[in-house]
Amino acid sequence: MNAKKESMGTENVILYVAIAAAVLVLGWVFWSSYVISGSAPAAANTNTYSSGFATGSDNCGDLNDPSNVQHLSHHLGTFGECIKKVDPAVFKQATGKDKDAYMSQNGIK
């Protein structure tokens, strides 16, 4: 009878661990969907490019800001026209590369 009690105790521990894991997973799923939906905690993270980065193909952002220029250089398909407008010295500072050489290597005319 004592062995049976130990077996039931182990089964209970396993059951409690499984329930706790399920609660944690469900809590994580709920929290993830809450954050992704744009509620309070995620609201500060939803506008990633509000600090001066370009936000569309017709908006190049601040072409004198090295961080923006570096961002533009990573999205040639969208911001190739913007790169044409960047001062060569700012481009060199932002990327460490010569603007004209970069443009010719990437087919920007």
What percent of the chain stands above pLDDT 90?
Answer: 15
Chain segment 90-103, per-residue pLDDT in tens:
989 888 988 888 88
- The residue that leads in pLDDT, 7 or 32, is 32
| pLDDT at 2 (0 to 100) | 55
Domain range list for the chain? 2-43, 47-109
* Highest mean pLDDT: which range of 19-23, 57-61, 72-76, 102-106: 19-23
Position of tokens 């969208």?
A: 78
Residue 29 has pLDDT above 70, yes or no: yes
User: Helix (H, G, I), strand (E, B), or coil: what is residue 75?
Assistant: coil
* Band (76; pLDDT cuts 50, 70, 90): confident
Rounded CA gap, 103 and 109, in Å?
7
- The residue that leads in pLDDT, 4 or 45, is 4
Rounded CA gap, 36 and 8, in Å?
42
Rounded CA gap, 73 and 51, in Å?
17
pTM equals 0.47
61 neighbors 48 (Cβ within 8 angstroms): no
